[in-house]
Structure 1
Amino acid sequence: MKISEASRVSGVSARSLRHYEDEGLIVPGRFSNGFRDYCQSTIDRVLIIRSLLESGLPVRLIREVLPSLTDGSDAGTGMVCAEFLHEVQGHRDRLAARIAVLSDQQAALDAYLREAHRTDL
């Protein structure tokens, strides 16, 4: 299918599909005229990529683990999964630390606003 149909079917913009290709996450086929040709397995891969990106994982990490998630083989899966899970845990921990800092900042702003409203009365 052409990029417009692949975009519609996957719910991912044509621009994102091109970006995934540029990042080496997908490799669509080509028609004789040079247009991209997306098969169902590529669309399935796009849906996995989209889900991982929406989870906040960086493209670098997705690129590393994607072959083991989409090739259907179990060879080396345990090692890849252990390393991947370790990376995901690290990413999650960094995210939790950022959330804690933002929560502290939000609490400080809330306190400031409460105090400001008190002095206005």
Structure 2
Amino acid sequence: MRIGELAALTGTPTRSLRYYEEQGLLVPRRMPNGYREYDDYLVDRVVQIRGLLDAGLPTRIIKQILPCLDKPRTIHFSDATPEMISTLETERDRMSERIGCLTRNRDAISDYLEAVK
């Protein structure tokens, strides 16, 4: 599929898709005319990238962990350095804090809605 189709399917601006490519997060094929050609599996990849970005992970970390996320049941990351492990632990803990905050806010809104209904 072409970049516009991928953008439409994922709700991602084409500019962002090009940025993901520059960062090495997406690798489209190139047609003889130079156009990008995206495989169907990249729809899920883009959704995954956006989710990780929304969670606050920087692209440099996403690039390193994406190969591990293709098949979650068969994760193997043979070249994980102590620094990478520490970074991922820090990011995981930060996400957990955000999840806790979001959960408290959601529950407060639910309680408010229940009270006013």
| Pair 1:27 & 2:17 matched | no
Q: Which has the higher helix share?
A: 1
Alpha carbons of structure 1 residues 69 and 92: separation in structure 2 relative to 1, 3 Å: closer
Instruction: Go from structure 1 to structure 2 and tell me whether the alpha carbon gap of 1:32 and 1:74 turns closer, same or farther (over 3 Å shift).
Output: same
CA contact (8 A) 1:6 1:38 kept: yes
Number of residue equivalences? 95
**Unaligned residue ranges in structure 2 (runs of 5+):** 98-117
Superposed CA RMSD in Å reads 3.1
In structure 1, what is the equivalent of residue 50 of structure 2? 50
Could you tell me which residue of structure 1 aligns to residue 69 of structure 2?
69
What SS does the aligned partner of 1:19 have?
Answer: helix
Secondary structure of the 2:74 match is: coil
Aligned to 2:87: 87
CA deviation profile, 1:42-97 (whole Å, cap 9, x unmatched): 121111101000001111111110011125772525996xx87753441365686x
Which structure's CA Rg is the greater one?
1
- Per the normalisation by structure 2, the TM-score is 0.66
Give ranges in structure 1 of 5+ residues lacking alignment.
97-121
Change (3 A) 1:42 1:21: same
Aligned to 1:12: 12
Counting aligned pairs with the same residue, the percent is 40
Q: What is the aligned partner in structure 2 of residue 113 from structure 1?
A: none
